[in-house]
Amino acid sequence: MAGREVVIVEVGPRDGLQNETTPITTADKLALIGRLAEAGLSRIEATAFVSPRWVPQMADHEAVMRGITRRPGVVYSALVPNEKGAEAALAAGAQALAVFTAASESFCRKNTNCSIAESIARFRPVMRLAERAGVPVRGYVSCALDCPYEGEIAPDAVASVSAELLALGCSEIALSDTLGRGTPERTQAMVEATLRRAPAAMLAGHFHDTSGQAIANVEVAWRLGLRIFDGAVGGSGGCPYAPGAAGNLATERLVAHFEAKGISTGIDLAALERAGRWIGARLDMAAR
């Protein structure tokens, strides 16, 4: 990641595709991951080792992780819900793991069928497996600004869950505006509260663009010291357990924003845009 002033984490193959109702072939997923790596993405969340019953689009997680043509300097990660998922992901070659909880009790119960405390307890064996394998674990905090069931989330609730994940051993916390309703003012309050419990270097911004405020929220987080941001190529995706959540912030827009400011991302924007058009066309074909 030499020369990068900001690190972009590409979540399109997982968060971007997970909500697509029409099956996407494993070959297309692998081709997308290859195109993203060629464009210069250094971190790609390739798949999720979750139950196909709940997220059918991720049913081929093992085939995807094993089938990736590895590119030097690129870290290929997987989202995992528990120890079983972590074991399978590591066996398939995941170089990093991600776990997920929420700052909202209601959302956590809807999404994972347990409380926030119980979800974090489930991660302890994941952390032990990751430590033995020598791979880092990212922690997602969903509903960092709004919850579809509880409304606005208090900044201190986000800070508290983030601190718990760091204490557990997570190397990075992704503050996630799952519904994409966040404003710059509320983003600032949330990030500032979290910074009182965690260093900026261990925080990432994950913004959805439902209200068209994602770039403005990224800019606020950048000014407060965050240097890691998530994007999904083509702006695809959205959480299947968050009614009303639109697509993620498009990686193309994220890269263009920083490059326009003279901030290096290490990503070839033209190649990234080609990848976005390619997967958009494949999704259109699959939906016919």
Strands of 40-170, DSSP E: 43-48, 75-79, 96-102, 137-142, 146-147, 151-152
For the ranges 6-10, 227-231, 258-262, 284-288, the lowest mean pLDDT is seen at: 284-288
Separation CA 170–CA 162 (nearest Å): 9
Beta bridge partners of 24: none
Active-site residue, selected from the candidate residues 108, 147, 170, 239? 239
* 241-267 pLDDT tens trace: 455 455 789 999 999 999 999 999 999
Active site annotation includes 143: no
pTM of the model: 0.95
Backbone angles phi, psi at 172, to 5 degrees: -160, 145
- For residue 74, give Cα distances in angstroms to 71, 129, 203, 265: 6, 21, 20, 14
Element containing residue 96 per DSSP (H, E): strand 96-102
* 174-184 pLDDT tens trace: 999 999 999 99
Strands of 134-242, DSSP E: 137-142, 146-147, 151-152, 172-177, 203-207, 228-231
pLDDT confidence band for 240 (50 / 70 / 90):
very low
- pLDDT(42) > 80: yes
End-to-end, the C-alpha distance of the chain in Å comes to 39
pLDDT confidence band for 287 (50 / 70 / 90):
confident
- pLDDT(2) > 90: no
Backbone angles phi, psi at 104, to 5 degrees: -120, 125
CATH of domain 7-287: 3.20.20.70
Separation CA 288–CA 286 (nearest Å): 6
DSSP secondary structure letter of residue 57: G
DSSP secondary structure letter of residue 250: B
pLDDT confidence band for 55 (50 / 70 / 90):
very high
The SS3 call for residue 173 is strand
